[in-house]
Structure formats: structure tokens, C-alpha cells
Amino acid sequence: MTGSNADEAHRPLLAADEPTENYGTQDANPEEPTSSFSRQLNAYNGFALLISVIIGSGVFASPGQVDTNVPSPGAALLIWLLGGILAWSGGNVLASLGTAFPGEGGIQQYLKYIYGDLAGFLAAWAWVTCVMPTTLAILSIVFVESIYSAIHPVGHDGTLGIQYKLVSVLVLVVMACVNATGTKNSTRLSNAFVLIKLGSIGLVVLAGIVVVIIHASDHSKHVGGGDWHRKGWFTPRPSIGKNTRIDWRDIGSWEALGYISTAVYASLWGYASWDKANYVANELKNPAKQLPLAINTAIPTVVLSYVLVNTAYYILLPWDIIGQSDAIAVESIKALLGKGAGLAFAALVCLVIAGALNGNIFVAGRLTVSAARKGYLPRSFGAIGQLGWEKKQLRSEDRNEYNSVAKPRFDAPFNALLLTVLISSLYIIFGNFRALLTFDGIAEYTFFFLTVAGDLILRYKEPDLQRPYKPSILFSILFAIVSGFVVVRCMIFAPVQLGVLVSVLVLGIVYYYVWNTREVIGR
């Protein structure tokens, strides 16, 4: 961290005209050239990881939140397309930064290089305490919600009792234990889940196609929701959600923009984790080629899948009930084929969410290890293959020695996984799906905006920075404009979640300076 004259060797980009820590030259000497984990992943592993972590609860739960906040089904599909374009743009920008800045930690190290150590710390702090635990909490909740919705009628209040929340915690613990068996087992699971995830989406799309074919062959047969051929896809209609009703004729443009921003957030949750390949980039055998390849194949695949499956939802269900469910895929199959089929599909959705849990827990552990090995967290959370507390703290002069120790027999970050499970469990107990969804979006996209804005700064301040992968600057501009606007608007419409995030970040700043003072005194 900071606190000594040695920091002059690693001054942030905005603090000097020519920072000495130049990752992007042939003579680069990155702060962390080595990886805590061995390089054993390839491009397909990166593709599979992205498919595994992106396709999870979002596409099976978020459509209700999107539908509630837009005036028409056609607008909802455009929101899903916009969210996909944003995710793809952000993925390309982060791939560029990931190949220019080797090492662990993803946006932690990018923000540190551009804005300074405190910015890097806050990114790590937010991901360890907010973003990843919230993501895992939402996935665990939707896992149980999918089963619950297969049994109960559409429009139930959606508030899970404490017994269901405890089951959600149990699901999280089980998947963390699976992850604790090691990197190879986790990546094998991710690879296996690719077919399950794409296959489950394919089933819903196929069901929609069958309904269209049946209607085209015989208009007298009433199969599916029916609204898809009776009403205009872009005709404004009241949006009905859980305990909410929006009549778009009675609200002003500013308020409508707020609702639409919320819908964009919900779609972005569906694409959540598009950035996760960057956090294992240092484990790829050839990051410069494999990272962009993984991103530019996985994200377009997901975008196409999401637009098709959301179109199928509007074909399979009446439009006035789509906004009332947080398990819309299960409701679609149940409405078409009955309760038994709904239960069977709920089991399939649970497998899909389990895959997303597996992939996100895998990334969460690595993020925590990276933060600990940078000195942002106690040293023990950077331990690999060990469970227990170490009294000795991680100082900057210890890092090279610490990072060069022999790799243990087991490569699971047990302490990091334990911390992630504990924090995630608190979010499960005290939160609910839609509140956590907005909180996660505000936290995540605040730092994404800072990262992409930083990329624009780098292009201006360091135009000769070596980038093995350099996409068009239009990706950065588009993502910065839209994400910045959506963040500001959702902050206005979600003051409670904003207050919680600000409180957590302030607590992090206090921790940062107290921890930094301890390190200085310890020297």
C-alpha cells in the first residue's frame, strides 16, 4: 500500500506526466509478474467460464424487472440488446487493459495505475465486500425461488421466509465446498455447464417456436400466452409488477427515463460477470490472444441467446404477468406444459444457476487472494491450500518472497472462500432479489465507469502504451456515456442502496488508512 518513499516508484498516472511504472513497454516490470495460480487455462476455458458465470439467474429472473420498467415488449427486447452491446463494449475495453497490464486483480490494478493506490484498494474492497457477495447472494436466492415458483402460482409475493433463505445459504455453502476441491475440478464443471446452460435456453426458444408454428397452422388453437399475435409489440401498455403498476400515459419524461434506467440495470444483471475473464487472465496460457478470443465469442453468443429467449417468454405467457415473476423461465414452461414440466425445468434452471455459482465463487476466491497479496487485506486471505489465520501481515517488501513460494498441493483459496461465503450469507439473510439487484448494479457499474473513463485517459496520456489487443475507442466512449448516465439515474432512484454502498466505501477508506498506518509503524 502507500506510506513510504518507495511509492514514488509507483506513482499513479494522474499524479505525474510520465509514471515510472510502465506496464505497456517491452521493458515492463509489472508489480506482480507472477501468478498465485498456475497457467493452466486456454481460450475455451475462458469461453466456458464466461458462459458459465453470465448465463445464470439473470436470464431466468431479470426479465420481470425489465418488463416492469418499460412501456412495451418491443422496448424490453431493445433493452436486452442494449445491455448486450454495453457488456460487449465493456468486455472489449477490459480485454485491452487486461492484455496491457499483466497480473492479478483485474480492475484493481488498472485503477491503481491510473488514479492511485486508494482507487485500487476501493475497487478490491467493493468487489470483496459488495459486488461478488451480492452476486452470489442473488444467485442463491434465485436458485430457491425457481423451485418455489414451480410449486406456487404466478404472482405470489416473492418474499422468501427465513427457512428458504437458510436453504439459499446451504446452496451457497455446498457450491463453495465444490470449489474448494481445486482449480481443475472447477474448470471441468464450468466446461460441463456450457451445454446445460445453452441447452436450457434452447428449450425455451424451441417452445416459443413450436407455439408460433401451431398458431400459424391453426388459428383456432389457443397455445401460449396469445398476446404476442393480438397486441402490438411496441404499443404502450400499463406495466404490471409485484405491487406496482406504471401507466406510461400519466408519467413525465424524466420519471420514465428513471424507470428505463432501472430496466437497463436489470438487463445488465442478466449479462453480469461479462468482466470475469479478466480476473483469471493471468492463468491463461496466452492472455494476449486467448482473452479477446474468449470475450468476442462468449458475449455475442449470450446476447443472441438472451434476445431469443426473451422473445420466447412473450410468446409463451400473457404479457400482464411477466413482470410479476422472478422465475419467468419456469413460469413459461409451467404455463405451456403443466406443473410437472415446470418442476422438471426448475431442476434444469437450478443446474444452470449452480454453474453460475461455481464460476462466480471461483472468481471471488481469486479476487480476494489478489487483494490480500497486494496488502489490501490480511495476509491469511491470500493463502492457497491452507485454512487458518497467520499473524504476520503482508508488507510490500514481503511480496516477492510471498508470491514465489512453492505452490501447495491443493490450490483452493480456503480462507478467501470462507470470507466470501460469510459475507454473501449476510446479504441473503437481510436482502431480497430486487433490492440486491439494484445495489449490485450501482456498485459494479460505478467502478466500471471509472475503469473505462481511465482507459480514455490512458489513450490520451499514454498513446504509445503497448496493447496486444486494442479495440476501437468507440467501445470506451459508448460504455462511458451510457454507464455513467445509468449509474447517476439509478443512484437518484435508489437512495437506500446508494447509502449502503457509500457507507461500505467509507468504512473501507477508514480501514485503508488504519491498515496503512499499521504497516508504516510495523516497518
Query: Residue 434 — very low, low, confident or very high, per pLDDT cuts 50/70/90?
Result: confident
pTM of the model: 0.76
User: pLDDT for 248-274, tens place per residue?
Assistant: 888 888 888 878 888 887 788 788 778
pLDDT at residue number 408: 52
Cα–Cα distance between 454 and 110 in angstroms, integer? Answer: 8
Cα–Cα distance between 21 and 9 in angstroms, integer? Answer: 7
Contact criterion met (CB below 8 Å) for 358 and 186? yes
CA-wise closest residue to 450 among 172, 97, 17, 30: 97
Tell me the three cell numbers of residue 378.
Answer: 490480511
pLDDT at residue number 419: 94
The CA–CA distances, whole Å, from 229 to 222, 255, 337, 374, 427 equal 11, 30, 20, 57, 41
- 353 within domain boundaries: yes
Query: Residue 205 — very low, low, confident or very high, per pLDDT cuts 50/70/90?
Result: very high
Residue 332: Cβ-neighbour burial (10 angstroms; 0-12, 13-18, 19+): buried
Contact criterion met (CB below 8 Å) for 100 and 466? yes
Query: Residue 311 — very low, low, confident or very high, per pLDDT cuts 50/70/90?
Result: very high
User: pLDDT for 377-417, tens place per residue?
Assistant: 888 888 887 776 654 444 444 444 444 444 555 567 889 99
From 22-26, 46-50, 176-180, the region with the lowest mean pLDDT: 22-26
Query: Residue 21 — very low, low, confident or very high, per pLDDT cuts 50/70/90?
Result: very low
pLDDT at residue number 183: 64
Above 70 in pLDDT, residue 483? Answer: yes
Report strand pairing: 244-246 vs 239-241: antiparallel
Query: Residue 303 — very low, low, confident or very high, per pLDDT cuts 50/70/90?
Result: very high
- 30 within domain boundaries: no
- 307 within domain boundaries: yes
Residue 393: Cβ-neighbour burial (10 angstroms; 0-12, 13-18, 19+): middle
Cα–Cα distance between 98 and 112 in angstroms, integer? Answer: 14
CATH of the domain at 336: 1.20.1740.10
Q: Which residues contact 250 (CB under 8 A, 6 or more apart)?
A: none
Above 50 in pLDDT, residue 185? Answer: yes
pLDDT at residue number 274: 81
Q: Which residues contact 199 (CB under 8 A, 6 or more apart)?
A: none
- 46 within domain boundaries: yes
Q: What is the average pLDDT across 134-147?
A: 86
pLDDT at residue number 284: 66
Q: What is the average pLDDT across 477-491?
A: 83
Residue 216: Cβ-neighbour burial (10 angstroms; 0-12, 13-18, 19+): exposed
- 13 within domain boundaries: no
pLDDT at residue number 454: 92
- 14 within domain boundaries: no
What is the DSSP code (8-state) at residue 284?
B
- 497 within domain boundaries: yes
pLDDT at residue number 81: 94
Q: What is the average pLDDT across 235-247?
A: 83
- 3 within domain boundaries: no
Tell me the three cell numbers of residue 284.
Answer: 491463461
Above 60 in pLDDT, residue 4? Answer: no
pLDDT at residue number 310: 93
Residue ranges with strand state E in 363-464: none
pLDDT greater at residue 161 or residue 72: 72
Above 80 in pLDDT, residue 295? Answer: yes
Cα–Cα distance between 491 and 433 in angstroms, integer? Answer: 18
The CA–CA distances, whole Å, from 141 to 91, 134, 223, 399 equal 27, 10, 31, 38
Residue identified by cell 499514454 is 462
At residue 284, what are phi and psi to the nearest 5 degrees? Answer: -75, 145
Provide the mean pLDDT of the chain. 79
Above 50 in pLDDT, residue 27? Answer: no
Q: How far apart are the first and last CA of the chain?
A: 13
pLDDT greater at residue 328 or residue 207: 207
Contact criterion met (CB below 8 Å) for 246 and 238? yes
pLDDT at residue number 159: 53
Contact criterion met (CB below 8 Å) for 371 and 377? yes
Q: How many residues does the chain have?
A: 523
Cα–Cα distance between 239 and 219 in angstroms, integer? Answer: 27
Domains in the chain: how many in total?
1
Please give the single-letter amino acid code of residue 208. G
Please give the single-letter amino acid code of residue 175. M
Cα–Cα distance between 501 and 504 in angstroms, integer? Answer: 5
Above 70 in pLDDT, residue 1? Answer: no
Residue % of the chain over a pLDDT of 70: 78
30: phi > 0 → left, psi -120 to 50 → alpha, else beta; which?
Answer: beta
**Residue range of the domain that includes 364:** 37-522
pLDDT greater at residue 84 or residue 521: 84
Q: What is the average pLDDT across 40-45?
A: 64
Cα–Cα distance between 212 and 104 in angstroms, integer? Answer: 48
